[in-house]
């Protein structure tokens, strides 16, 4: 059975390669907007499943992996900034705060239509960053394509005071511990 990552994210692709399983990638076309009144964790889990379903018709005999991440501070959500100005504004808002990065994962078996869904929160405490530190970071790392504007797998680790969560790969965008559990439940052999 094929394994398909419903994502074109280089970060997710690199993480999935760690499991040493052959896989394909496919671009899901999904609207990533939260629904009115939808809690951030629910948004992430809904979008992970929607991404898997968006490519399912093209892969009739496959396990489709969908993933999404929503960063939030209370009810305030931090998406992919897209611009340097928005990345700087996000980091200014998060400095000195603990932000939850909720990474959701869905594994859809297109043969049966059965889906496994899980959410993995990571609590990230940012240092009390100066405006100069934030600006220099954004200029050097250009974290415009990641929720919350901080790449913990790169220079973004210097912005942090602490992290806590069940899976260190969740913060990068694909929780491999949960994914391994789901793949085993779907009959995939892992070491």
Known catalytic residue at 68: yes
CA distances for 92 relative to 23, 84, 86, 97, 135, angstroms? 38, 12, 10, 10, 10
How far apart (Å, rounded) are the C-alpha atoms in residues 148 and 7?
19
Alpha-carbon distance of 138 to 27, in angstroms, equals 27
Angle ∠(181,185,187) on CA atoms, nearest 5: 120
Q: Using CA atoms, how far apart are residues 135 and 140, in angstroms rounded to an integer?
A: 9
Cα separation of 25 and 35, whole Å? 27
Which residue in 24, 26, 61, 68 is the catalytic one?
A: 68
Residue with tokens 């305030």: 76
Residue 19 tokens, joined:
């499991």
The C-alpha angle 123, 63, 47, rounded to 5 degrees, equals: 40
Q: Which residues are catalytic?
A: 68
């Amino acid at each position: 059975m094929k394994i398909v990552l419903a994502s074109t994210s280089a970060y997710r692709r690199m993480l999935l390669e760690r499991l040493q399983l052959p896989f394909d990638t496919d671009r899901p076309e999904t609207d990533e907007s939260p629904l009115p009144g939808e809690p951030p964790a629910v948004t992430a889990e809904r979008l992970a499943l929607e991404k898997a379903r968006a490519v399912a018709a093209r892969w009739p005999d496959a396990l489709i992996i969908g993933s999404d991440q929503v960063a939030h501070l209370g009810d305030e959500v931090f998406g992919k900034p897209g611009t340097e100005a928005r990345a700087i504004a996000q980091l200014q808002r998060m400095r000195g705060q603990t932000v939850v990065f909720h990474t959701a994962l869905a594994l859809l078996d297109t043969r049966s239509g059965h889906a496994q869904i899980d959410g993995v929160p990571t609590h990230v405490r940012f240092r009390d960053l100066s405006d100069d530190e934030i600006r220099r970071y954004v200029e050097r790392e250009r974290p415009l394509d990641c929720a919350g504007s901080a790449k913990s797998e790169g220079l973004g680790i210097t912005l942090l005071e602490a992290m806590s969560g069940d899976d260190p790969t969740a913060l990068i965008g694909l929780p491999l511990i949960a994914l391994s559990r789901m793949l085993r439940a779907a009959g995939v052999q892992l070491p």
